[in-house]
Chain A
Amino acid sequence: DQQVKQNSPSLSVQEGRISILNCDYTNSMFDYFLWYKKYPAEGPTFLISISSIKDKNEDGRFTVFLNKSAKHLSLHIVPSQPGDSAVYFCAATIIQGAQKLVFGQGTRLTINP
């Protein structure tokens, strides 16, 4: 049972344009969502998060949008830079409780010069 899904295994975007990565979840109990960036043979690096009481959170070039009714979140990166090329994982958790993260399958983002 895949509770967090990233349906696009890969995405290619031109440098300077906007990258939009999508994530869907099925468990309505999730109330905290995170995006991580991962390079090969390294651990994930935290990028940005959003609580279910918000629908948008922005940090520099990164913005996360949450649509609770659709159980959907997205990460926008603008402008995209070559250094953004990596695998991006969305994750979800329930704050009250063990706070275990459930990860999506990841989307490999490639930024083309």
Chain B
Amino acid sequence: GAVVSQHPSWVICKSGTSVKIECRSLDFQATTMFWYRQFPKQSLMLMATSNEGSKATYEQGVEKDKFLINHASLTLSTLTVTSAHPEDSSFYICSARDRRVSPLHFGNGTRLTVT
């Protein structure tokens, strides 16, 4: 089945630094990828929709200058958390689908801890 790979699986960084998270579709091309965030014991909240070759579409309340998304190819989308603060500590998950009407496949997530 379709596989989505996310890297790194966990990262610890200091406040004020930037962190890049990669999301790759391994055996299919994804024109659209989605980035989610999950706080402990809460639901997955959509942050943004990453579109290959164009700007990402951000959900209301998500700062696009803080969470930079780049979808440079049909198999790779990156999320960069800029000037990270402790409140950015969370579990970030990317997802993609290989056909228009098909279930989303999720990466294994990235646990970000900002100290």
Q: Which residues of A line the B interface, CB within 8 A?
A: 9, 32, 34, 36, 41-46, 49, 89, 95, 98-106
CA–CA, A104 and B106, complex, Å: 16
Q: Which residues of B line the A interface, CB within 8 A?
A: 4, 6, 9-10, 32, 34, 41-46, 49, 57, 91, 93, 95, 97, 100-101, 103-109, 111
Hey, which chain A residues are within 8 Å of B109, CB to CB?
A: 41-43
Other-chain residue from A9, A42, A46, A100 in contact with B105 (beta carbon distance below 8 A): A46
Could you jot down 27 A-B contacts, CB within 8 Å? A36-B106, A41-B9, A41-B10, A41-B109, A41-B111, A42-B108, A43-B6, A43-B93, A43-B95, A43-B106, A44-B44, A45-B106, A46-B104, A95-B101, A98-B32, A98-B49, A98-B57, A99-B97, A99-B101, A100-B34, A100-B46, A100-B49, A101-B44, A101-B95, A103-B43, A105-B42, A105-B43
Q: Classify the interface of chain A: helix, strand, loop or mixed.
A: loop
B95 to chain A, nearest CB (A): 8
Q: Report whether B103 and A34 are in contact in the complex, using a CB–CB cutoff of 8 Å.
A: yes
Hey, which chain B residues are within 8 Å of A32, CB to CB?
A: 101
Q: Report whether B43 and A43 are in contact in the complex, using a CB–CB cutoff of 8 Å.
A: no
Other-chain residue from B32, B57, B93 in contact with A44 (beta carbon distance below 8 A): B93
Other-chain residue from A89, A95, A98, A99 in contact with B43 (beta carbon distance below 8 A): A89
